[in-house]
């Protein structure tokens, strides 16, 4: 089991255990298989295990299956599910073998659990806030910048911070038959995470130039903890 799998399972276990004695936000998480786009170049539809009143935030952690680099992007998040697909950067062929991933779906809002732990789940839009490498197609004339994100209420200690793009509006190519252009992830400015907020931006790395449209990123900030255990996919207790 990879460190990414352990991370998402630990987070799910922590959140569910803290919901046991309170009226919790709706939370779910599980492992999914995204189809081989060499043989079936269409998006994988994932149905939630429960229905939400409004579309939740969806956080993805993928495996490293496949010989080419790829990230899992999602789109069309609704109250009943979402679509996901592994997409490759410029310089690759675009199609990808079957890839496993974990998702975590959480209702938006500021949630307090019985032990006093605070968790904030929100979103924000990014477009002009961009970071990239020296060999990127965006270099050297595209302005760089970060967006300052302020939490609803300051945390007592610096929280753990998770993020995931919720939309796929920036498309100058035809994935998965082609590589994704522009190829965007999220950058967190080094040293910017504090008890009151964080600075984030779209990240183009060193990939090809493309037209950037407004993208929505979901975030989750939760107070850190330790000395917790959970059971992995094989029924083994991990601490």
- Locate the domains of the chain by residue range: 3-225
Residue 186: pLDDT over 70: yes
DSSP secondary structure letters along 22-73: S-PPPEEEEEEEE--TTT--SPEEEE-SS--SSPPEEEEEE---SSS--EEE
Max CA pair span of the chain: 54
Question: How high does pLDDT run on average in the chain?
Answer: 84
For the domain 3-225, what is the CATH code? Answer: 2.60.40.2080
This prediction's pTM: 0.83
- CB contact at 8 A, 200 and 189: yes
Is the distance from CB of 163 to CB of 147 less than 8 angstroms? no
pLDDT, one tens digit per residue, over 107-149 is 999 998 777 788 999 999 999 999 999 999 999 999 999 999 9
Per-residue pLDDT tens digits for 39-90: 888 899 999 999 999 999 999 987 666 566 678 899 999 999 999 998 877 7
Percent with pLDDT over 70 in the chain = 78
């Amino acid at each position: 089991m990879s460190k990414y799998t352990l991370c998402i399972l630990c987070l799910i276990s922590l959140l569910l255990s803290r919901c046991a004695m309170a009226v919790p936000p709706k939370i779910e998480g599980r492992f999914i298989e995204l189809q081989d786009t060499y043989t079936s170049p269409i998006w994988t539809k994932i149905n939630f295990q429960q229905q939400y009143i409004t579309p939740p935030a969806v956080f993805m952690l993928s495996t490293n299956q496949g010989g080419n680099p790829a990230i899992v992007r999602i789109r069309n998040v609704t109250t009943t599910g979402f679509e996901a697909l592994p997409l490759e950067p410029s310089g690759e062929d675009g199609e990808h073998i079957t890839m496993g991933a974990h998702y975590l779906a959480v209702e938006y809002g500021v949630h307090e659990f019985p032990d006093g732990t605070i968790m904030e789940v929100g979103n924000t839009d990014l477009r002009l806030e961009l970071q990239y490498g020296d060999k990127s197609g965006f270099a050297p004339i595209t302005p760089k910048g970060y967006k300052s994100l302020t939490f609803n209420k300051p945390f007592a200690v610096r929280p753990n911070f998770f993020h995931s793009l919720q939309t796929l509006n920036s498309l100058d190519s035809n994935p998965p038959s082609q590589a994704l252009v522009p190829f965007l992830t999220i950058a967190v400015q080094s040293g910017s995470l504090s008890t009151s907020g964080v600075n984030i931006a779209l990240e183009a790395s060193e990939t090809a130039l493309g037209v950037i449209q407004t993208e929505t990123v979901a975030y989750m900030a939760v107070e850190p903890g330790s000395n917790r255990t959970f059971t992995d996919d094989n029924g083994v207790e991990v601490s």
